[in-house]
Amino acid sequence: MKLYWFLVAAIIPVIAALPSLIPPSSVTTGDLVEKHGYPFEEHEVQTSDGYILTMHRIPYSARVETPEPRPVAFLMHGILCSSSDWVLLGPGLGLAYLLSDAGYDVWMGNARGNTYSKRHATMIPYLPNFWNFDWHEIGMNDIPAMIDYALYETKQDQVSYIGHSQGTTTFLVLSSMNPKFKNRIRSAHLIAPVAFMDNMKSPIVKLGGPLFGNPNSWINIFGNTELMPNTRLLEQLGQQNCMDTSTYQALCSNMIFLFAGFDHDNLNTTLIPEILATTPAGASTNQIIHYAQEYVSGKFRQFDLGRGHRKPKDYPLDKIDVPIFLYYSENDYMASVVDVEKLMRKLKKKTLKRAYKVPDPNWNHLNFLWGLNIKEQVYNAVMEDIESMRYQ
DSSP string, 136-205: HHIIIIIHHHHHHHHHHHHT-S-EEEEEETHHHHHHHHHHHH-GGGGGGEEEEEEES--S--TT---HHH
> For residue 222, what pLDDT is reported?
64
How far is residue 72 CA from its own chain's centroid?
19
Mean pLDDT of 126-130: 93
More confident residue, 211 or 55: 55
> For residue 204, what pLDDT is reported?
76
Determine the Cα–Cα distance for residues 324 and 172; give it in Å rounded to an integer: 10
Mean pLDDT of 292-297: 94
Confidence of residue 235 (pLDDT cuts 50, 70, 90): very low
Sign of CA dihedral 142, 146, 147, 152: positive
Q: Residue 2 pLDDT > 50, yes or no?
A: no
Determine the Cα–Cα distance for residues 25 and 159; give it in Å rounded to an integer: 31
> For residue 380, what pLDDT is reported?
98
Tell me the percentage of the chain whose pLDDT exceeds 70: 84
Across 62-71, 112-121, 122-131, least confident range: 62-71
β-strand pairing of 352-357 with 324-328: parallel
pTM above 0.75, yes or no: yes
How far is residue 372 CA from its own chain's centroid?
19
CATH T-level topology, domain 2-388: Rossmann fold (3.40.50)
More confident residue, 278 or 58: 58
> For residue 175, what pLDDT is reported?
98
pLDDT in tens, 4-38: 434 444 444 444 444 444 445 568 999 999 999 99
> For residue 203, what pLDDT is reported?
77
Determine the Cα–Cα distance for residues 258 and 98; give it in Å rounded to an integer: 29
Determine the Cα–Cα distance for residues 10 and 204; give it in Å rounded to an integer: 12
| Range with top average pLDDT, 23-37, 126-140, 246-260 | 126-140
Mean pLDDT of 228-249: 55
| Range with top average pLDDT, 38-47, 233-242, 276-285 | 38-47
190: nearest Cα among 72, 344, 80, 299: 344
Mean pLDDT of the chain: 87
- All residues at 6 or more sequence positions from 155 whose CB lies less than 8 Å from its CB, including other chains: 69
> For residue 253, what pLDDT is reported?
54
Q: Residue 150 pLDDT > 50, yes or no?
A: yes
Catalytic residue among 165, 175, 297, 336: 165
Mean pLDDT of 222-239: 64
> For residue 279, what pLDDT is reported?
81
> For residue 207, what pLDDT is reported?
78
Taking a C-beta distance cutoff of 8 angstroms, is the pair 192, 241 a contact? no
> For residue 206, what pLDDT is reported?
78
Peptide bond into 71 cis (omega under 30): no
> For residue 14, what pLDDT is reported?
44
Residue 329 designated active-site? no
Q: Residue 58 pLDDT > 80, yes or no?
A: yes
Across 155-164, 206-215, 234-243, 254-263, least confident range: 234-243
Residues in the chain: 392
Confidence of residue 277 (pLDDT cuts 50, 70, 90): confident
Mean pLDDT of 106-129: 96
Residue 336 designated active-site? no
For residue 75, give the 3-state DSSP assignment. Answer: strand
Determine the Cα–Cα distance for residues 324 and 343; give it in Å rounded to an integer: 11
CB atoms under 10 Å from CB of 224, counted, come to 16
Mean pLDDT of 263-278: 80
Catalytic residue among 164, 189, 290, 365: 365
Determine the Cα–Cα distance for residues 223 and 59; give it in Å rounded to an integer: 38
Continuous H helices in 226-321: 232-241, 249-260, 272-278, 285-297
Judge residue 330's burial from the number of C-beta atoms within 10 Å of its C-beta, 0-12 exposed, 13-18 middle, 19 or more buried: middle
> For residue 73, what pLDDT is reported?
98
Taking a C-beta distance cutoff of 8 angstroms, is the pair 291, 104 a contact? no
Taking a C-beta distance cutoff of 8 angstroms, is the pair 298, 101 a contact? no
294: nearest Cα among 384, 165, 390, 385: 165
Strand partners, 190: 163, 326
pLDDT in tens, 311-320: 999 999 999 9
38: nearest Cα among 9, 18, 58: 58
> For residue 392, what pLDDT is reported?
75
Confidence of residue 257 (pLDDT cuts 50, 70, 90): low
> For residue 254, what pLDDT is reported?
56
CA atoms within 13 A on the CB side of 202: 25
